[in-house]
Amino acid sequence: MSKAQIMNGNELVSEAAIAAGCRFYAGYPITPSSEIPEHLSKRMPEVGGVFVQFEDEIASCMAAVGASYAGYKSMTASSGPGISLKQEAIGLACMMELPLVVVNVMRGGPSTGLPTRVSQADLMQARWGTHGDHMIIAVAPETLLETYTETIRAFNMAEKYRTPVYILTDAVLAHLNGRVELPDPSTLEIIDRTQPSVPPEEYNPYDVERFGEVPPLPNKENFHDYRFHMTGLNKDKTGFPTVNKEAVEADEERMITKITGNIKDIESFEYYKMDDAQLVIFAYGTNAAAARVAVDEAREAGIKAGMFRPITVWPFPEKQVAEIGKNFDKMIVSEINLGQMLYEVERATKGNIEISTVLQAAGVPIRPQQILDKMKEVL
């Protein structure tokens, strides 16, 4: 069924969103993510979905939250400065527990930074960009095909856990045109929010006792018949505001544990040539491609290198990295920033492993040779 096509990362995110059932896109133009709205402005009407280019990034993300409330699978996309503006709406989606997919095509920063150049400097923004205690899911694909499959997985997790999910790509992946063979749509696993099985008068959007830790949420077909209230204030099971200490505490904790408690389902990572490795590279996103080439070249040169690659970058693969810390002697953390996931790696490995770095924030990809040189230096 599959057929070779040439597509770039931005087009793949867009097509995967449609395949995942996304029927609402709201956005605002910004480099290097603009091909996503360009593509979806053409495609959404074709599939009967909604596309609106809003007046700003804030409105775009709020609209995506509104559409999700109204039962639609929704997405917005942007890059650094735009993602900064979307933060309040992402926090609202966390609090209202609404599925939402946010694409961040990472570029250099802070501020306007390097609009057309690659970076991975928004990892911590993805984790902690919006205020307040909250948990976030974020995925970072390495290749074009994975950009497609991870976008589908992002929608599935957003729906399943009623939560915002980030897709972190970057300027290279966004504009990289390459050969892809997309999976047959009928083979894709598509998850939709569970639907209330109770009559409308008995439905409450946060009734955990009755429905479990992720209560059902009406889809677009059921939205009309199920009337309920939602607010950005801390809420009780009915969706109305509360300041009750016990209720707030339980709700705040559940909003985190509904994700961390299902980590087995959410986590995704790759061990590449790790079995006999003397040295482990920690890399993710497009930078993992450079690390992979470096590992292969190192092995040709007789260096037993391996790579650990988180695909779900948030929640951080705490356990796996801690294990690596115990079982290996040396690690190189490489990322296209000045050290962000490095903090998490250091925290998780608790001083059990010697850590070196290949970091770069220059608007250009880290080359395999740079990682290879570092391997030779540390061994």
Partner 1 sequence: MAFHYELRFAGIGGQGNMLAGAIIAEAAIFFENKYATQVPTYTSQVRGGPTKADIIISDEPIYFAESTHINFFLALDQRTYNLYKGDTLDGAIVLVDSGLVEVPDEDRAKWDVYEYPIIRTAKYEVGNVITANILSVGMTGELTQIMSLDNIFKAVEKRVPPAFLELNEKAFKMGVDIAKKLKAEKGK
Partner 2 sequence: MATDYSKYLRMEKLPLYWCPGCGNGTILKAMITAIDELGWQNDDIMMVSGIGCSSRATGYVDFHTIHTLHGRAVPVATAIKMCHPDMHVIVFSGDGDSTAIGGNHFIHACRRNIDLTVIIVDNWIYGMTGGQYSPLTPTGTKASTMPRGNIDPNFDIAELAKGAGATFVARSSVADPMILKNYIKKGLSHKGMSVIDALSNCHIQWGRRNKYGDPVKLVDLIKERTVTKAKAAKMSEEELKGKYVTGILYEDTAKKEYTQAYKELVEKAQNE
The dihedral over CA atoms of 324, 313, 255, 229, expressed in degrees to the nearest 10, equals -170
Distance from chain centroid for Cα 335: 16
Interacting residues toward partner 1 by CB under 8 A: 4, 6, 31, 115-117, 142-143, 172, 175-179, 289-290, 292-293, 364-365, 367-369
Confirm or reject binding of residue 55 to partner 2 (CB under 8 A). Answer: yes
Confirm or reject binding of residue 26 to partner 2 (CB under 8 A). Answer: yes
If binding means CB under 8 A, how many residues of this protein chain bind partner 2?
41
Question: CA-to-CA distance for 29 and 57, rounded, in angstroms?
Answer: 9
- What is the closest distance, in whole angstroms, from the C-beta atom of residue 45 to partner 2 in the complex? 4
Torsional sign, CA 116, 119, 120, 125: negative
Question: CA-to-CA distance for 59 and 362, rounded, in angstroms?
Answer: 32
DSSP strand pairing (354-359 vs 312-314)? unpaired
The binder of partner 2 chosen from 56, 181, 249, 329 (CB under 8 A): 56
Give which of 42, 33, 46, 40 is closest to 16, Cα–Cα: 40
Binding site partner of 292, from partner 2, partner 1, none, Cβ cut-off 5-8 A by kind: partner 1
Place of tokens 């951080």: 316
Nearer to partner 1, 90 or 172 (CB): 172
Contact status, residue 308 vs residue 269, Cβ threshold 8 Å: yes
Binding site partner of 312, from partner 1, partner 2, none, Cβ cut-off 5-8 A by kind: none
Confirm or reject binding of residue 196 to partner 2 (CB under 8 A). Answer: no
Confirm or reject binding of residue 65 to partner 2 (CB under 8 A). Answer: yes
Nearer to partner 2, 58 or 359 (CB): 58
Binding site partner of 64, from partner 1, partner 2, none, Cβ cut-off 5-8 A by kind: partner 2
DSSP code string of 56-95: SHHHHHHHHHHHHHTT--EEEEE-HHHHHHHHHHHHHHHH
End-to-end CA distance of the chain: 47
Confirm or reject binding of residue 92 to partner 2 (CB under 8 A). Answer: yes
Residue 29's φ and ψ, nearest 5 degrees, are: -65, 135
Nearer to partner 1, 157 or 176 (CB): 176
The binder of partner 2 chosen from 22, 158, 230, 353 (CB under 8 A): 230
Residues that bind partner 2 (CB under 8 A): 24, 26, 42, 45-46, 48, 50, 52, 54-56, 58-60, 62-67, 69-72, 74, 88-89, 92, 220, 223-225, 227-233, 240-241
